[in-house]
Amino acid sequence: MRKFKKKRILQLTDESFTVACTLLATSITRHGQDSFVLSIARGGYKLGDQLSRLLNLPHYKITASHNASDAPYSKTNNEVKISTSGDVNLPESGTAVLVDDICGTGKTMIEVKSYIQRTSGIVITQTATLCRNIGSDVLPTHWVWDVDDWVLFPWEDAPRQVDMEPLPSPKQVYNSLGG
C-alpha cells in the first residue's frame, strides 16, 4: 500500500532526471544485456526513451494505468488497465528491461510483466523505476529514490498552490539483486 506524508510534493528536476538515467543505465548494464527497453506509458515513456539511448537498445511501449487520475494522491483502481492499441507493435520474443516512472504499489509492473509473458515470447529480465514508494512491498530490480510522498515528474504539469520539494541529487541506484 502506498504511503504519503501529504506534507509536500516531491519534484524531480530535469537535471536529476538526467543523472538518474545515467546511474540506472550503468546498473542495468552491470546485471545483464537485454534485447530492448519496454516502457509503461505514460509515466515510464520518457525514462524508457532515455534509457534506450544510453543502452543503445530499441524502445517499445505498452500503455497501462493503475491510478484513477493524474491528480496528486489519487486513489488506485482495483484493476490495472493494459492497452496495446495504438502502441508500436512489440517484438514476438527477446529479453527486456521493463521501466516505469514509479513503483507505487508495484501492481502495474506485476500486471504488465504477467501480461507480456502470457501473450508473447518476451522475457522480462529486469525492472527499473526512478522512484519507489516506501509502502510498496514490490522491489524493482533497479530504482533511484525511495519516496514518502507524491512525486511530480518533469513531464507532468505542476498542481497549483502546493508546497514542492526537489528530490535530492541522485548518488546511487538501489538494487534488489544485490551488488
Write out pLDDT tens, residues 78-100.
788 888 666 558 888 999 999 99
pLDDT digits (tens, 9 = 90+) for 57-78: 999 999 888 766 666 767 777 7
Assign 3-class secondary structure to the chain.
Answer: CCCCCCCCEEECCHHHHHHHHHHHHHHHHHCCCCCEEEEEECCCHHHHHHHHHHHCCCEEEEEEEEECCCCCCCCEEEEEEEECCCCCCCCCEEEEEEEEEEECCCHHHHHHHHHHHHHCEEEEEEEEEEEEECCCCCCCCEEEEEECCCEECCCCCCCCCCCEEECCCCCCCEECCCC
- Residue 69's pLDDT is 65
pTM here is 0.91
Residues of the chain with pLDDT under 70: 67-71, 73, 84-88, 178-179
Residue ranges covered by each domain of the chain: 9-175
Annotation: CATH topology of 9-175: Rossmann fold (3.40.50)
Say what the pLDDT of residue 83 is: 82
